[in-house]
């Protein structure tokens, strides 16, 4: 999509679970009843009931990993992942969490890989805390209908509509003040998105 990615954050499952537990869990609004296997014990199911729920670390991990029982597949999983990230950020800014800086820093140091400097992380947090009041709304349609589901060698692929990909590319580049990019004459980019079957 020709969008520059300058920074990254890589979080392992263990760090995710410990981080959510350290901030006291997260509150989410479960969209429908479902269950997911516990990644640490596949004989154990973690159940979710439609409506408000408070999740600990293991529950939150199962909540963001489930795809097969979601009628919207990977699109629904993406929405739940964003929901947990927003809930975690909100919890981090709470008064109770401010006294756990040392514990959170220890978890971050052991389980998170990033090329962001501490000062840059702090600046991003400050910017995010004001994003709703200072930035323009920007959303993408994540509902199905802009591509097709395909299975190749028993691996699931989502093949997006090239025209819609172009629309998203232009919208993102405009938001980032990069200008439009016309990729209609190039076949260099892969047009399929793959997700694991687990």
Q: What are the tens digits of pLDDT across the range 127-138?
A: 766 655 444 555
CA dist 47 and 71 (Å) reads: 17
Among 117, 89, 107, 104, residue whose Cα is nearest residue 7: 117
The mean pLDDT value for 189-198 works out to 46
CA dihedral 67, 141, 133, 102 (to 10 degrees): 20
The mean pLDDT value for 168-188 works out to 72
pLDDT surpasses 60 at 184:
no
This prediction has a pTM of 0.73
Amino acid 120: pLDDT: 81
Mean predicted lDDT score pLDDT of the chain: 80
The vertex-103 CA angle with 97 and 108, nearest 5°, equals 100
Amino acid 63: pLDDT: 98
Amino acid 189: pLDDT: 47
CA dihedral 117, 120, 126, 128 (to 10 degrees): -100
Q: What are the tens digits of pLDDT across the range 82-99?
A: 999 889 888 877 756 655
Q: What are the tens digits of pLDDT across the range 101-119?
A: 667 667 767 778 889 887 7
- The residues spanned by each domain of the chain are 1-135, 136-198
Q: What are the tens digits of pLDDT across the range 21-80?
A: 988 999 999 999 999 999 988 889 999 999 999 999 999 999 999 998 999 888 899 999
The CATH architecture that domain 1-135 belongs to is: 3-Layer(aba) Sandwich (3.40)
- Cβ proximity of 162 and 191 under 8 Å: yes
CA dist 135 and 139 (Å) reads: 12
Amino acid 144: pLDDT: 54
Q: What is the longest distance spanned by two Cα atoms in the chain?
A: 55
Amino acid 185: pLDDT: 44
pLDDT grade for 143, boundaries at 50, 70 and 90: low
193: alpha, beta or left, given left = phi > 0 and alpha = psi -120 to 50?
beta
């Amino acid at each position: 999509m020709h969008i520059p990615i300058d920074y990254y954050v890589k979080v392992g499952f263990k760090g995710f679970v410990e981080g959510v537990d350290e901030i006291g869990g997260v509150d989410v609004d479960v969209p429908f009843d479902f269950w997911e296997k516990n990644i640490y014990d596949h004989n154990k199911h973690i159940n979710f009931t439609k409506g408000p729920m408070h999740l600990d670390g293991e529950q939150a991990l199962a909540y963001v990993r489930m795809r097969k029982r979601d009628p919207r597949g990977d699109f629904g999983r993406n929405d739940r992942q964003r929901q947990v990230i927003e809930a975690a950020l909100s919890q981090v800014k709470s008064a109770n969490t401010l006294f756990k800086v040392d514990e959170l820093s220890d978890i971050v140091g052991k389980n998170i890989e990033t090329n962001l400097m501490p000062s840059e992380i702090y600046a991003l947090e400050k910017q995010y805390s004001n994003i709703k009041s200072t930035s323009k709304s920007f959303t993408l349609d994540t509902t199905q209908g802009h591509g097709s589901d395909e299975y190749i060698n028993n691996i699931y692929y989502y093949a997006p509509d090239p025209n819609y990909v172009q629309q998203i590319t232009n919208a993102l580049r405009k938001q980032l003040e990069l200008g439009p990019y016309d990729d209609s004459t190039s076949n260099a980019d892969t047009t399929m998105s793959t997700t694991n079957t687990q």
